[in-house]
Amino acid sequence: MSNSSLIPLIKDYLKQEMTLGNWDSVAPETLPPDPGDVKAYLAKKTAAAKKPDSKVESEPLSKFREPFKIGSGSKAEELKRLREYALGCRQCALCKTRSNLVFGSGDPEAKIMFIGEAPGEDEDLQGEPFVGRAGELLTDIIEKGMKIPRKSVYIANVLKCRPPMNRDPQPVEIDNCTPMLACQIRIVRPQVIIALGAFASRYLLNTKSGINALRGTFHTLSIDGMAIPVMPTYHPSYVLREYTVEVRRKVWNDVTQVMKYLNDKQV
Ligand code: URA
């Protein structure tokens, strides 16, 4: 195996060890295992990390955190305060492996809020949601499809920190992180939410149903006396993987319903 193909494996190995809290293995005096061992090690740990009750994520770093209290400032001011609060979060191990917190971005006064799953590599590096390939597609959906500027909507994720190797968010991470998303929704008070993919849809609608069953019709999120319509649709990463006319037509159907809803409301 060449040195250049070994480097990403070693990087993943070190990140995984940090996620697990195995600081001894990443200490400089400990040599990484040889390439064969790294592969076997990663396969084993990835399988372990996929188990919902895995030890990896089940150990909060600080068990209790004072909940964030929304104040009387403007939406922009309260989101800024919430971001500071999120930066101090140490409730799961993801804060150790992330490069940046990906809090959310867009217009605090937005009518439409998009909610995705979790930051990927590009988002983690830039600290902004949906800036990679899936983000380019989302921007096209918003700007070319819905014909509104991306900066006029608000975009956030279920998780604020990137799960290593883009694995699925674990239940304990969702439990720890979503109170911050709930505060974002309470502050922005959007007129409609578009839930991107199964994780966001299931959290918002408190259901275990799959995205195929949920998408295409409005559901309701009841929060703080508000009843916010939620339109689940496919996640842009899924659309990129399944780039068929049928999938794209379904997403188009979903966002068209949202635009119609907003237009009818204005009349
Ligand atoms: N996928 C997500 O769910 N969110 C992002 O921010 C990027 C990719």
Q: What is the pLDDT of residue 253?
A: 98
Rounded mean pLDDT of 72-76?
98
Residue 57 and residue 172 in contact, taking contact as beta carbons nearer than 8 Å:
yes
Q: What is the pLDDT of residue 31?
A: 39
Query: Rounded mean pLDDT of 114-135?
Result: 98
Report all structural domains of the chain as residue ranges with CATH numbers, in order of start.
Answer: 72-266 (3.40.470.10)
CA atoms of 92 and 122, how far apart (whole Å): 21
Assess whether pLDDT exceeds 90 at residue 15.
Answer: no
- CB 129 near ligand 1, within 6 Å: yes
Q: Are 196 and 117 a contacting pair, CB within 8 Å?
A: yes
Q: Dump pLDDT digits (tens) for 182-227.
A: 999 999 999 999 999 999 999 999 999 999 999 999 999 999 999 9
Ligand 1 centre and the CA of 199: distance in Å?
11
Ligand 1 centre from 116 Cα, in Å? 5
* Ligand 1 centre distance from Cα of residue 33 (Å): 32
Within 13 Å and on the Cβ side, how many CA atoms surround 190?
Answer: 31
pLDDT above 80 (res 116): yes
Give nearest CA residue, ligand 1 atom 3. 117
% the chain with pLDDT above 90: 75
pLDDT of residue 65: 82
130 pocket-lining for ligand 1 (C-beta < 6 Å): yes
* Ligand 1 site-directed mutation target among 130, 142, 237, 240, most atoms within 8 Å of CB: 130
**pLDDT tens digits for range 31-70:** 344 445 555 545 554 554 444 433 344 345 565 789 999 9
**Measured distance CA(212)–CA(238) in Å, rounded:** 12
pLDDT at 21: 44
For the chain, the average pLDDT equals 86
CA of 63 to the centre of ligand 1 (A): 27
* Residue 20 Cβ contacting ligand 1 at under 6 Å: no
pLDDT at 110 (0 to 100): 98
Judged against a pLDDT cut of 70, whether residue 81 lies above it is answered with yes
Q: Is 123 in the pocket of ligand 1 (CB under 6 A)?
A: yes
* 142 Cα distance to chain centroid: 18
pLDDT of residue 32: 40
Which of 88, 267, 102, 70 lies closest to 188 in space, CA to CA? 70
Q: What is the DSSP letter of 68?
A: P
